[in-house]
Structure 1
Amino acid sequence: MNSAVDPDEETDIEFETELDPDADADIGTANTMRQRADESRIKIWIMLAANRLVVTGLLALIVFVTVTLVGAEFYPAFHADLQQEDTIETIFSTMIGAIITGTTLVVTISQLVISQENGPLGDQHERMSSTMNVRDYTRELVDRPVPADPSAFLRHIVNASETRARKLREAVAGKDDEELKAEVNEFTTSIIGNAKQVRKQLDGANFGSFGVLFAALNYNYGWKIFHVERIEYEYEESLTDDDRSLLEDLRSTLAMFGPGREHIKTLYFEWALINLSQLILYISVPALIIAGAMLAFIGESSFPGSTFGFAHMTLVVTAAFTITLLPHLLLVSYIARVATVAKRTLAIGPLILRDSQR
């Protein structure tokens, strides 16, 4: 089974709100990516959550409708121009060159991705040793065997952070410092609510779909690390050694989520770019056939008549142009997601780059 061929095995991605929307209003920002970005559901859906083939189809429909309507309504000579063989030859000979160039570029990108996995035996042994060291550290952190499934791996770390947050809240519940208790309660409530939400999104999500990475983006671990450090510093006199140990355990667990998310993000990028290369190779063949057919067989007298006021010749040429544009539209839909994720994950750890979080 060639699972990499599956273009975009989407899972249902739910845009949930916080369990307690005001839980972290004073000491934190919104946890989910959409809330932190302060952008509309539609934009997030188009750029990230939607199946890439669906986005490609929507872009193709927009191109077809726009070219047809603009040509018919705002350029009266549009139909006459499309009936000229020189116009058709110019359009589709240009598209043939663009398809071949774009396909070559994407294949080159695929080769670069694959080259990252190649290397001598020593390098492969070093990669394996580093991976096993991280798994050993994670096993000690979460106090259980580390699963091989990426979504379960992240889910275990999220579970461990929730467990340590509950222990921290219980530890400070009997203290006399009311301000410390209030902040820890508020902070841990935010962690627990965010953990439950992300765990629900990770449950059943399979790697290769965007669901795993999307759920990981919804866990605001960096801001949580900052608050652990801040609480430990500001309430140093009120904290016991056991309290500090609990804070450090929570901080270590949250910090482990960062490289785990980045590793899964890197693997997803490679997976997505390989899928993109395969799909463009597949779709470039019918696109080239359509472009060649338009050059070879379509003339001034082809497809006479009209439908709903649109000349058949105009509809055929516009449809053919849209089909030959599909490899580029597919590239746009995939790169839009990859670039958006990359921009939102430039920093690892408690660094805030977006004004909406400040």
Structure 2
Amino acid sequence: MRERAGESSRLLLVLLDANRWLVTAFLSVVLFASIVVGGVLVPNPGLSTGDPIETLYQALITSTVTGVTLVLTLSQLVLSQELGAVGDQRERMDGAMSFRRDVAQAINTDVSPAEPSAFLRVLVTETRDRAVAVDDALANGDLEPDVRDRVTSYLDAVIENADSVIEQLDGATFGEFDVIRAALNYNYSWKLYEGRSITETQGDDLSDGAVAELDSLLATLELFGPAREHFKTLSFQWELSDLSQVLLYTAIPALSVAIASLLFLDPSTISGTSAGLSHALVLVAATTTVSLLPFTILLAYMLRIVTVTKRTLSIGPFILRETDRSGGQP
């Protein structure tokens, strides 16, 4: 995915892979440093008077209560989609079981795996096996060099990408973003598009066996799309549940610091400096950073959610970014 993304690899590491608590700590440090630097650069930061400080903490208290309440409400609204009458639940169950039967038939097994990582792994493994079967069917065929180069390049890309994703899914645990990261690394949309294009434009040049195996490969890729979207939805619900829980844990400490600072903190009575920094400035920056902890946590979680959403806006052979359609990795 990093090879296909327009963003920096380091940026994607922060947005997707990094632990959310580490991202929160990084954002808090940036916030703290920004306040301190601003206080150093401004000749008279206004710490000797009470009105700006009181206004600040009053705003922090109001924003924390309002923000946490709003986020929890929205999270519960999203999670409430899991609730419903028995008829709705049975319809969901029938859909899930029908899809599992389709996957089991595609991978030639009686029962498809239950774990998300194993479920996706068998689908990706099946696409790899189908690609190898197409390649074997082409071995004895008499194809034009340009046709063979295009098909071989496509199959090599499928096999190489599948091998990498299979390794990533091995031992991946749902709820720790491992499964979704691996699913994002499998660019099935381009594979589906290119495979359909080969079938329509060069299908007459391929043997019947190669066409049949290629159709099986494309059918398996079509199953991977809904599976990825389903597990992405479950991952988002998992993340929102974690976010709601974390916000509940941090809201009270953040409010306590903001309220205590409003009632008891008087920067004008704090004197002294360390390393050229005013103690009053450092204290105000620290209390503000702690008071904004629910916001930085929310930002850390939402950065990953919106990044994944951006990468998975379409389903099927729709490609929303620039892609090398000559056979290279998109």
TM-score normalised by structure 2 residue count: 0.94
Give the Cα separation in 2 of the matches to 1:357 and 1:330: 37
1:16-27 map, 5 Å: none
Residue 121 of structure 2: aligned partner? 155
Q: Choose which of 19, 22, 28 in structure 2 pairs with 1:51.
A: 19
Q: What is the CA distance between 1:83 and its match in structure 2?
A: 3.0
Aligned residues of 1:37 and 1:356 also touching (Cα < 8 A): no
1:125 aligns with 2:96: no
Deviations 1:238-286 (A, max 9, x none): 2233222111100001111100100011111111111111111111110
Structure 2: segments with no counterpart, 5+ residues: 326-330
Residue 303 of structure 2: aligned partner? 336
Residue 63 of structure 2: aligned partner? 98
Q: What is the CA distance between 1:357 and its match in structure 2?
A: 5.2
Give the Cα separation in 1 of the matches to 2:201 and 2:173: 41
Residue 143 of structure 1: aligned partner? 108
In structure 2, the CA distance between the partners of 1:281 and 1:43, relative to structure 1 (3 Å rule), is same
Letter in 2 for 1:165: A
> Which SS does the other structure have where 2:82 is aligned?
coil
Give the Cα separation in 2 of the matches to 1:302 and 1:284: 28
Q: What is the CA distance between 1:37 and its match in structure 2?
A: 1.4
Residue 35 of structure 1: aligned partner? 3
Give the Cα separation in 2 of the matches to 1:117 and 1:245: 40
State the identity as a percent.
43
In structure 2, the CA distance between the partners of 1:35 and 1:316, relative to structure 1 (3 Å rule), is same
Q: What is the CA distance between 1:356 and its match in structure 2?
A: 5.2
Deviations 1:7-62 (A, max 9, x none): xxxxxxxxxxxxxxxxxxxxxxxxxx211113211111121111111111101101
> Which SS does the other structure have where 1:206 is aligned?
coil
Aligned residues of 1:175 and 1:181 also touching (Cα < 8 A): no
Aligned residues of 1:56 and 1:333 also touching (Cα < 8 A): yes
In structure 2, the CA distance between the partners of 1:300 and 1:263, relative to structure 1 (3 Å rule), is closer
Aligned residues of 2:272 and 2:278 also touching (Cα < 8 A): yes
Q: What is the CA distance between 1:93 and its match in structure 2?
A: 0.7
1:350 aligns with 2:317: yes
1:233 aligns with 2:200: yes
Deviations 1:271-303 (A, max 9, x none): 111111111111111000000110111124543
Aligned residues of 2:16 and 2:307 also touching (Cα < 8 A): yes
Give the Cα separation in 1 of the matches to 2:185 and 2:78: 27
Aligned residues of 1:303 and 1:312 also touching (Cα < 8 A): yes
Please say which of residues 122-131 and 43-52 is displaced more in the overlay. Answer: 43-52
Deviations 1:295-320 (A, max 9, x none): 11112454332111111111111100
Q: Choose which of 249, 272, 275 in structure 1 pairs with 2:239.
A: 272
Aligned residues of 2:138 and 2:207 also touching (Cα < 8 A): no
Structure 1: segments with no counterpart, 5+ residues: 1-32
> Which SS does the other structure have where 1:35 is aligned?
coil
Q: What is the CA distance between 1:87 and its match in structure 2?
A: 2.1
1:208 aligns with 2:183: no
TM-score normalised by structure 1 residue count: 0.87
Aligned residues of 1:38 and 1:356 also touching (Cα < 8 A): no
1:173 aligns with 2:144: no
Letter in 1 for 2:223: M
Letter in 1 for 2:5: A
Residue 27 of structure 1: aligned partner? none
Please say which of residues 197-206 and 176-185 is displaced more in the overlay. Answer: 176-185
Give the Cα separation in 2 of the matches to 1:300 and 1:197: 57
> Which SS does the other structure have where 1:36 is aligned?
coil
1:194 aligns with 2:161: yes
Please say which of residues 160-169 and 336-345 is displaced more in the overlay. Answer: 336-345
In structure 2, the CA distance between the partners of 1:119 and 1:67, relative to structure 1 (3 Å rule), is same
Give the Cα separation in 2 of the matches to 1:252 and 1:62: 48
Give the Cα separation in 2 of the matches to 1:237 and 1:245: 12
> Which SS does the other structure have where 1:38 is aligned?
coil
> Which SS does the other structure have where 1:277 is aligned?
helix
Residue 17 of structure 1: aligned partner? none
1:245 aligns with 2:174: no
Aligned residues of 2:141 and 2:206 also touching (Cα < 8 A): no
Q: What is the CA distance between 1:203 and its match in structure 2?
A: 1.1
Deviations 1:330-356 (A, max 9, x none): 111111111111111111111111135
Residue 35 of structure 2: aligned partner? 67
Give the Cα separation in 1 of the matches to 2:207 and 2:198: 13
Give the Cα separation in 1 of the matches to 2:323 and 2:134: 29
Deviations 1:56-75 (A, max 9, x none): 11011011111101211x20
1:89 aligns with 2:89: no
Q: What is the CA distance between 1:85 and its match in structure 2?
A: 2.2
Residue 328 of structure 2: aligned partner? none
Deviations 1:181-238 (A, max 9, x none): 3322221111111001011111111110111111101101111111211221222322
Deviations 1:69-92 (A, max 9, x none): 1211x20101xx123222221110
Give the Cα separation in 2 of the matches to 1:68 and 1:200: 45
Residue 280 of structure 2: aligned partner? 313
Give the Cα separation in 2 of the matches to 1:313 and 1:187: 63
